[in-house]
Amino acid sequence: MSTVTMDPTPASFTPINMFAMLRAMVNNNVPFLTISGAPVNGASGSFAGQAGPGVGLVDYLNGIEYQNTGTLASPVWTRQTVAATGLTSNQINAGIIQTITGQISAANIIATTAGALGHANGVIMVPACAAKSVNVLLSATIAMDFLTAAYTAGGNTTVNIGGGGAALTGLVNTTTFIQAASDVIINLVPLAATNLSYVTGANSLNLVTSIAPTNPGTAAGVINYQVTYQTIPALID
C-alpha cells in the first residue's frame, strides 16, 4: 500500500510542530537559504531547481539578503537590503529623483588627466546611465572648501553632458569660484532658454572648467558637490 504525504495545513504550525512548516516550505520549493558570498543567477547558478520564485537567500558573509525574482529553473537573485552607501540607480524605479554627492580633491582640481577637473571633459559627478536612458539634470550644488590659499588660472565652470557634450547650466566665473579666497557655495540649475541636447543613453553629468586650474604652491581646498537628477527612458527608439 502506497503512502501519500500531504502538505500540512496552517493549523498544524504549532511551536511543537515546526517540522511541518519546514516540510511545507521544501515541498513547495520555498525554503529559506543561506550562502557564503554573492549568489549567481541563471539555470546553472545558485540553487537552480531548488529555489522557487520568492525564496529568500541570505549571504551571511556580507550580510546581504536576496530574493529569487526569477523562476525555479533559472533563479534571479535580487538584492533586498540597502548597502551602507545607499541605493544605486539600478535598484530603484526609473524616474525617481536621486541625489549623489562627492568631492574633488586638491590634486584632482589641478590635474589634467582623464577624470580630473583640469581635463577637457572634467569630473564625472553622475555616472553614465544605461543605453536608451537619459540622466536629466535637476540641479547641482558645488562648494569650494577653501584652505590655506586660492587656486590660480581655471576657467568658467559649468555642468556638462559627459564625454565633451554641451553645457547644461549657466557658467560660474573663475574668480567667483575656483579662484575664491574663501568658502563659496553655488547652486546651478539647467538653462531655461536653451534646448538641451542630451545624448541618447550612457550620458554622464560632468563638472567642467574651460581652463585647467593651477596651484600657486599652497592651495589645498577641495570641491564638494551634490547633484539632483532623474534617470528616465530616452523616449526614442
d(CA 184, CA 110): 18
Same domain, 210 and 148: yes
Same domain, 50 and 97: no
Same domain, 45 and 144: no
Q: What is the per-residue pLDDT across 37-49, written as a single tens digit (0 to 9) for each?
A: 999 999 999 999 9
Largest CA-CA distance found in the chain, in angstroms, rounded: 94
What CATH number should be reported for the domain holding residue 197?
2.60.120
Q: What does the pLDDT read at residue 13? A: 52
Instruction: Give the list of residues 6+ apart from residue 237 with CB closer than 8 angstroms, or none.
Output: none
Grid cell 523616449 — which residue?
235
Residue 84 lies in a domain: no
d(CA 183, CA 152): 15
Residue 73 lies in a domain: yes
Which of 69, 66, 67 minimizes the C-alpha distance to 37?
Answer: 66
Do 233 and 132 form a contact (C-beta atoms < 8 A)?
Answer: yes
Q: Is the pLDDT of residue 7 over 70?
A: no
**Claim: this prediction has a pTM higher than 0.75:** no
Same domain, 71 and 122: no
Q: Which structural domain range is residue 58 located in?
A: 10-79
